Structure 1
């Protein structure tokens, strides 16, 4: 086989020219397009990564916010339960206190009503007893002279200063003698004058309500020696004892 040198040389030159043409007019634009595409792809990838990171950040933020909302919800529920429990306890305490107060008031009213009822019953019993005693004493009668003698002795037994105060500053001393039945005042006038040391103007009067006994009405004092007074004192003593027992 015969190889022509010039032909080979021309073909080599043609190849070099083709390579140079391809390099300048095809390869470089292709490389530029590829580089541009690579750059665009890198930019897209970078943007996608940024978007992904931003999405991850937003997701973490939402998760944190969701966790915070759950914690806040639990806190609010716990606070609401605590407030409701406190209010319920306060209402129960108030209801118990009100019930205790009402019960105490009711007991106090019942005790007061019982005391009043007992006092009224004892008062009625005392009044009935004294009335019955008065009727019995009226039926039995009494010696007014004996009562008057006791009254005069009580005047005579007083200290001198008290007898002087009993007589007052008047002369003769006005004395009103009250009895159940009429009595002759003359002997008693002399006895009282001797006890008081000055004349006595004795005025006699009658009062069947005394039951039995006498009353000496001096200017500023009344000396009572009668069953009426004794029964009144007994009734007062019974009433006072009943009140004391009811209060206890």
Structure 2
């Protein structure tokens, strides 16, 4: 079986479940050694590592709270110590607080922006310092930033910041041959998508369904591949045609 990423090392933040887990599993299936990052659920992360190992892949779990820059640095330190130089970083962590803008508290703001914007910023910063020349950096945003939804100001605002980080960093790392792209999933079968919204979401896609985590993961792994070497600074929509 072809493994185009054999010999590569990848970090996927927030990869104990959902889209992050799917990305970690597909990267490993393509030959990469993968760090499965988690914040609190060690069993879920160990389950991902076990699933990857059962399929012949290589993975290890590392705990780190991405909202804390010191933890981000430790995540990269441990990865380099245990797996060597880093080739691929997928900044996938994301949380949402869904409520009208006028009801959002300072604590809500700090929680969402602290994880989605601040956490991703410092993940991208470490990736920029440590990824080998010719490497790949991918930040997961959301298709929601190009749509109009109520009660999502915090989530979409934080992800909008991520998209601007990507645009700037792609210019800064271009001379090293490092690509930096955003990946924006649409409605996907994860715990972030409320059950009440799923039928409507499916009807918005020409395919008549919501996405599976693997649908998004395959696009992420393409962005991590050599075939994506001419893509940088882009926001790739992986939403099944939802516009």
Please identify the structure whose Cα radius of gyration is greater.
Answer: 1
Q: TM-score range by the shorter chain?
A: under 0.3
TM-score normalised by length of structure 1: 0.24
TM-score normalised over the length of structure 2: 0.25
The structure whose residues are more often strand, as a share, is 2
More helix per residue? 1
